[in-house]
C-alpha cells in the first residue's frame, strides 16, 4: 500500500502482546489490508521522529474560485474540489522547499526529482494511498481529474501497483469527515505528510474589524531526523500563501 523501505534492523512484523479475551468479546482476524496498515504505521512511528506544526489558512480565495468555476468545469466532467486546490498548493511549496520532498536512507539524503503526491482514500476495509505522478506539472484542473480517477478506481479495487508506488509526499483530508485537525503518521519513505482540516466559517479580526471568514487548520507531520522546524514552517508559509492567493490562473 505504501513504500516502506526494508531497512537493516527494521522488524518486518510488529509484535504485540497477547490480550485477554473476556466473555462477550468478539474476536475478528484483521483482513490483509488492515494488517498491512497496522504494520506500516507502527513501523513508521518507530523509524521517524514525528513532529507537527499547525497553521490556519484563510480559504476565501479557494471558496470563491470554486463558486465561480465549479459549474463550468462540471460541464466538462471535472470535479473542482477543495482537495484539488490543496494538492496544487502543496506542489508549489514542495518545489520551493525540496527538503520536504525527500527521503532518508541511512546517512544519505535523497532529494526527489519528481513531485508525486500520495492521496489517502478511505475504502472498505481500510485506507489506500494512490499517487498522482508529476503533480507539479498539473494545473488544479489536471489534479482534479487525476484525483477523481484514482479515487474512483481505489473504491472499485481497480488500482494497479504503479498507482500505489513512487509517492514523494502524502496528503490526507480528514476534514471531509468533519475533523478540525489531526496528527497524521508519515507514509514511509517520505519525510512529511499534510493533514487537512474542515473548512468552516470563523470569527476573526481583519484590519481592526470583526469579520467572518472560511478558515481551516492544516497540520504538517514531519520527520525531525531530516526536516527542522524552520524548514517545516517555511514550507507551510508558502503553502498558506499559495492557497490564500489562488485564482483562475491556477486552473
C-alpha cell at 65: 474560485
Query: What is the C-alpha separation between 151 and 231, in angstroms, rounded?
Result: 31
Residue with cell 504485540: 16
C-alpha cell at 61: 480565495
- Of 50, 53, 199, 224, the catalytic one is 224
Q: Which residues pair with 204 in a beta bridge?
A: 211
DSSP designation for 192: E
- Of 172, 183, 199, 238, the catalytic one is 172
First to last CA, the chain: 30
Contacting residues for 111 by C-beta, under 8 A, at least 6 apart: 98, 99, 101, 102
CB atoms within 10 A of CB 199: 17
Query: What is the C-alpha separation between 41 and 198, in angstroms, rounded?
Result: 24
Residue 97 annotated to the active site = no
CB atoms within 10 A of CB 60: 15
Residue 69 annotated to the active site = no
Length in residues, the chain: 251
Catalytic residues: 172, 224
Amino acid at each position: 500500500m505504501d513504500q516502506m523501505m526494508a531497512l537493516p534492523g527494521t522488524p518486518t512484523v510488529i509484535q504485540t502482546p497477547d490480550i485477554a479475551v473476556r466473555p462477550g468479546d468478539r474476536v475478528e482476524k484483521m483482513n490483509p489490508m488492515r494488517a498491512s496498515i497496522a504494520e506500516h504505521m507502527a513501523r513508521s512511528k518507530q523509524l521517524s521522529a514525528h513532529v507537527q506544526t499547525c497553521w490556519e489558512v484563510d480559504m476565501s480565495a479557494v471558496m470563491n474560485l470554486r463558486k465561480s468555476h465549479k459549474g463550468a468545469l462540471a460541464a466538462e466532467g471535472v470535479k473542482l474540489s477543495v482537495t484539488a486546490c490543496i494538492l496544487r498548493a502543496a506542489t508549489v511549496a514542495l518545489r520551493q522547499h525540496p527538503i520536504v520532498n525527500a527521503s532518508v536512507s541511512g546517512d544519505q539524503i535523497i532529494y526527489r526529482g519528481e513531485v508525486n503526491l500520495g492521496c489517502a482514500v478511505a475504502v472498505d476495509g481500510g485506507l489506500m494511498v494512490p499517487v498522482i505522478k508529476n503533480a507539479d506539472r498539473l494545473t488544479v484542473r489536471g489534479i482534479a481529474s487525476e484525483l477523481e480517477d484514482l479515487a474512483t478506481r481505489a473504491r472499485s479495487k481497480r488500482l494497479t501497483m504503479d498507482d500505489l508506488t513512487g509517492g514523494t509526499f502524502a496528503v490526507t483530508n480528514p476534514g471531509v469527515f468533519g475533523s478540525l485537525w489531526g496528527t497524521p503518521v508519515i507514509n514511509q519513505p517520505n519525510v512529511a505528510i499534510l493533514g487537512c482540516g474542515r473548512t468552516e466559517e470563523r470569527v476573526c479580526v481583519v484590519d481592526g474589524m470583526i469579520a467572518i471568514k472560511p478558515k481551516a487548520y492544516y497540520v504538517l507531520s514531519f520527520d525531525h531526523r531530516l526536516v527542522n522546524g524552520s524548514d517545516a514552517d517555511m514550507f507551510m508559509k508558502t503553502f498558506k500563501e499559495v492557497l490564500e492567493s489562488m485564482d483562475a490562473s491556477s486552473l
